[in-house]
Chains A and B, each alone.
Chain A
Amino acid sequence: MEAGAPTGVIGLVATIGRATLGGVAAIGKVANFAGRGIRAAVTPPWYPRQILGQFMAVGFLSLPVVGLTAWFTGAALALNIYSGGDRFNAETVMPQIVALGIARELGPVLAALMLAGRVASAMASEIGAMRATEQVDAMVTLSTDPRRYLIAPRLIAATISLPLLTLIADIIGVAGGMQVSKLLIDLSPSIYIINTIDFLRSWDVESGLIKSAVFGFIIGLMGCYHGDHAQGGARGVGRATTAAMVSSAVLILAADYVLTSIFARL
């Protein structure tokens, strides 16, 4: 604080005020960035090679980590229902609880958190490094809009890939739960599956997919935003990488709560 700055209560109030203004300004900047990014994503020209490449990097290459996470989550959920749920005969509804938990909540959220770690950080470091080495400036001098060439493909790929990954996670999560229920309570796989399919409503899955599209957008947005605002060379890129990961994870969980409470009222 510079000399002569107010101290005591007034100083505290001033600090809180500054922090609040800073927060509001940051939200404004992100919203502005998001708006321009969406506009670039939905209007031509598009760069199909970039979009395809991002689908590959964001979607396809995330399959292993999302698949493994989903399997273990489904299995652990079933195990918990078995060991904790016997207090009220819950093991008879193991397939239903696993299906509900995976489709509505755990599939979308865990796939999104995996991608926050894997993809948002990679996007921030790529774009941050491109900023630091003037590749973004170079692109502008080559008459190409970085927002269309770099940002839009990532937003498009993340927003569409994550629901598809979540669908895969839902399927594999059910398989994980089935495996455990077979081992623990000797529930026949076919009975497990019939219970799951008869019980699930399409909205259970759809609401999860809507959530994951929002999460995907958050991941793309945070990755690009922090990368684009990286300052101060390699260290700045490192900071941007962490910021992209942490902020997308926090925003995903916050958006999950908001969306779930909206869906609960429908």
Chain B
Amino acid sequence: MTQTPNLAPAKLEWRHVTKRFGANKVLDGLNLSVGKGRSLALLGRSGQGKSVTIKVALGLMRADGGAVLLDGVDVTHLHERERRASFAGIGMLFQGAALFDSLSVWENVGFRLINADGTTRREARDRAIEALALVRLGPEVADRYPAELSGGMQKRVGLARAIVGAPSLLFFDEPTTGLDPITAGAINELIVDKVRSLGCTAVSITHDLTSARMIADDIAMLDHGKIVWHGAAADLDHADHPLVRAFVTGKGDGVE
């Protein structure tokens, strides 16, 4: 059911992770791994725990049981300070963009550079404008504030913020949801480019099979707190799991 479809050493691995909120059991012994330099798309219906899966891996939520391994090292019980240090190589795009309201667009994008890397504000601004260009935002938005941007623009700023520090592991929580097809295509290309050219490892949550096929080497389907299907993107059409079939055909028959 959850065979690892590649032989590359795992960059990130979830081992029997459980997480519940009160009576709501969200993750129920989840096993999943992503090979180094691979791009994984995590599929699943809304509210099945995809965002929680990523947050547990990042340590933003504490798992109730199980372990998360980064580069083969158990990071489940890292001390806060060590965890923050490990974030140096990690970029995360949040589902709601999570831009800092009180900072301008370029200060958002350059946040890590200014506040953690000690880069001067002038240089951080230049690099932020470069990163904004990658997500197809011109320098004129650099001095605007998040509240002045549309949802899609905020998402792109969040994406620029995630990739600016040359990370080796990237998380994208619904990177193209709410974007027009042209911008969505550009974002997908950017993700592919980051993974292929820079050797990043990427985990993307998406509902959009077209996007998933474009950006992902591997696809995992999350349902009822477990990975119910995990395979190469190319095998998606031949999968016999009813939920995967339902995703492919867009018909919900036979799925409870």
Chain A residues within an 8 Å CB radius of B88: 143
Mask, A239-258, CB within 8 Å of B = 1, is 00000000000000000000
Q: State how many angstroms separate the Cβ of A73 from the closest Cβ of chain B.
A: 33
Mask, A111-136, CB within 8 Å of B = 1, is 00000000000000010011001110
Cα-based distance from A189 to B131 in the complex (angstroms): 65
Across the interface, B115 reaches (CB within 8 A) one of A133, A134, A142, namely A142
A-B contact pairs, 9 of them (CB 8 A): A133-B96, A135-B99, A140-B60, A140-B83, A142-B161, A143-B85, A145-B80, A145-B84, A149-B115
Question: How many A residues touch B, CB cutoff 8 Å?
Answer: 17
Closest to A147 in B: B80
A16 is an interface residue with CB less than 8 A from chain B? no
The answer to whether B60 touches A144 (Cβ under 8 A) is no
A137 is an interface residue with CB less than 8 A from chain B? yes
The answer to whether A135 touches B84 (Cβ under 8 A) is no
The answer to whether B111 touches A134 (Cβ under 8 A) is no
Closest to A141 in B: B92
Q: State how many angstroms separate the Cβ of A104 from the closest Cβ of chain B.
A: 38
Cα-based distance from A255 to B224 in the complex (angstroms): 51
The answer to whether A141 touches B115 (Cβ under 8 A) is no
A203 is an interface residue with CB less than 8 A from chain B? no
Given contacts A140-B60, A143-B116, 12 further A-B contacts (CB under 8 A): A129-B101, A130-B101, A133-B98, A134-B95, A134-B98, A135-B98, A137-B58, A137-B60, A138-B98, A139-B111, A140-B87, A142-B116
Cα-based distance from A143 to B94 in the complex (angstroms): 15
Chain A residues within an 8 Å CB radius of B96: 133-134
Describe A's contact surface by its main secondary structure.
helix
Across the interface, A144 reaches (CB within 8 A) one of B91, B99, B116, namely B116
Closest to A53 in B: B102
Chain A residues within an 8 Å CB radius of B95: 134
Interface residues of A (CB under 8 A from B): 47, 126, 129-130, 133-135, 137-145, 149
Chain A residues within an 8 Å CB radius of B112: 142-144
Cα-based distance from A255 to B215 in the complex (angstroms): 59
The 9 closest A-B pairs by CB, nearest first: A143-B116, A138-B98, A134-B98, A142-B112, A141-B92, A144-B115, A137-B60, A143-B87, A142-B111
Chain A residues within an 8 Å CB radius of B92: 138, 141
Q: State how many angstroms separate the Cβ of A203 from the closest Cβ of chain B.
A: 41
B245 is an interface residue with CB less than 8 A from chain A? no
B135 is an interface residue with CB less than 8 A from chain A? no
Cα-based distance from A229 to B95 in the complex (angstroms): 21
- In chain B, positions 58-100 with a C-beta closer than 8 Å to chain A are 58, 60, 80, 83-85, 87-88, 90-92, 94-96, 98-100
Q: State how many angstroms separate the Cβ of A52 from the closest Cβ of chain B.
A: 13
The answer to whether A144 touches B111 (Cβ under 8 A) is yes
Chain A residues within an 8 Å CB radius of B80: 145
Cα-based distance from A144 to B118 in the complex (angstroms): 11
Chain A residues within an 8 Å CB radius of B117: 143
The answer to whether A135 touches B100 (Cβ under 8 A) is yes
Cα-based distance from A126 to B103 in the complex (angstroms): 13
Cα-based distance from A145 to B102 in the complex (angstroms): 17
Chain B residues within an 8 Å CB radius of A129: 101
Considering residues A133, A134, A138, which has the most beta carbons from chain B within 10 angstroms of its beta carbon? A138
B207 is an interface residue with CB less than 8 A from chain A? no
Cα-based distance from A145 to B58 in the complex (angstroms): 15
B55 is an interface residue with CB less than 8 A from chain A? yes
